[in-house]
Copies of this chain bind each other. A is one copy, B any other.
């Protein structure tokens, strides 16, 4: 089969002919219908976030159709539409057994440590294949496996309650999902902070109040828009020092800043005014969990999560899949 692979750090990916992967007795083989390109791939290709070994087929946002199943697989059948949770975990360690599989001591990621989705087929453990309803496109399903799920997990880490207010720093793929999810979970006011007018316009269509950070100080503006209170949850999905600091500074009393963007520089907190004086919290959020996926997919099926990412993804769909 064809696969698009990373063969050397810093070099373009290459289309190669590789064997169709073998299917273990608890695995499923999936014919890939859509595979998203994630910003993380840039880091893998540059070598700043090392992959498991070379050559490596990248791609961790994957959806497709089950082509065959291992002898012990029961829940999944040939022909099922599925999308793939990208983290393959042991099921034995403390973290797997307590609902924190991102920290699995043997965890491996599709498209980073294991061959991924830029190929015609992939073999994964059956439990990583999440049913995809007919009403949700493969492209949307693939995108849900990474950006939307990261936003969903981050909102859960932030302990968002119905009736609270949320500020989302960064109105890209993750942010747009976060806006829709926060609304679907009962947030009364969602503020979207970005510097691109077109993104802010889209955020507004999804029910957010836009805050243009290139025209005004977002912290001041967020306080103004919340009657001086600040927000209950501030979600940072960009990974910039400035926006992380702004997220913390935007909090209300008892507010929580959730950091989900990957930054390469530290940021500063004034503990007295920003944390103690408000009993505020700063929370790291990492990836997402397999058991969160069915909810996301159902929200997508019910129409509460737009297929924005799918639109973006469509252009990246492998043109030569068949």
Nearest CB to that of A245 among chain B residues?
B266
Interface SS majority for chain A = mixed
Query: A299 interface residue, CB < 8 Å from B?
Result: yes
Would you give the 0/1 interface string for A242-271, flagging 1 where the beta carbon is closer than 8 Å to chain B?
001000000001100001101110111111
A239 to chain B: which residues have CB within 8 Å? 271-272
CB within 8 Å of B: which A222-249 residues = 239, 244
Copies of this chain, count: 4
Query: How far, in whole Å, are A163 and B301 apart by their CA atoms in the complex?
Result: 13
Query: A10 interface residue, CB < 8 Å from B?
Result: no
Query: A9 interface residue, CB < 8 Å from B?
Result: no
A290 to chain B: which residues have CB within 8 Å? 97
A286 to chain B: which residues have CB within 8 Å? 276-279
A102 to chain B: which residues have CB within 8 Å? 279
Query: A22 interface residue, CB < 8 Å from B?
Result: no
Query: A282 interface residue, CB < 8 Å from B?
Result: yes
The interface on chain A, measured as residues whose beta carbon lies within 8 A of the other chain's beta carbons, has a size of 59
Query: A202 interface residue, CB < 8 Å from B?
Result: no
Query: A285 interface residue, CB < 8 Å from B?
Result: yes
Nearest CB to that of A101 among chain B residues?
B97
Check B97–A96 contact: CB distance below 8 A. Answer: yes
A285 to chain B: which residues have CB within 8 Å? 276, 279
Query: A219 interface residue, CB < 8 Å from B?
Result: no
Query: How far, in whole Å, are A96 and B94 apart by their CA atoms in the complex?
Result: 11
Query: A162 interface residue, CB < 8 Å from B?
Result: yes
Check A266–B260 contact: CB distance below 8 A. Answer: no
Give, as a whole number of angstroms, the nearest-CB distance from A106 to chain B. 11
Query: A281 interface residue, CB < 8 Å from B?
Result: yes
Check B259–A275 contact: CB distance below 8 A. Answer: yes
Q: 6 tightest CB-CB pairs across the interface, nearest first? A: A275-B284, A91-B91, A163-B295, A276-B284, A185-B186, A266-B268
Known: A95-B253, A162-B181. 16 other contacts (CB 8 A): A91-B97, A97-B99, A97-B290, A103-B279, A162-B295, A163-B294, A163-B295, A163-B298, A188-B295, A188-B298, A267-B268, A275-B283, A275-B284, A276-B285, A279-B284, A282-B282
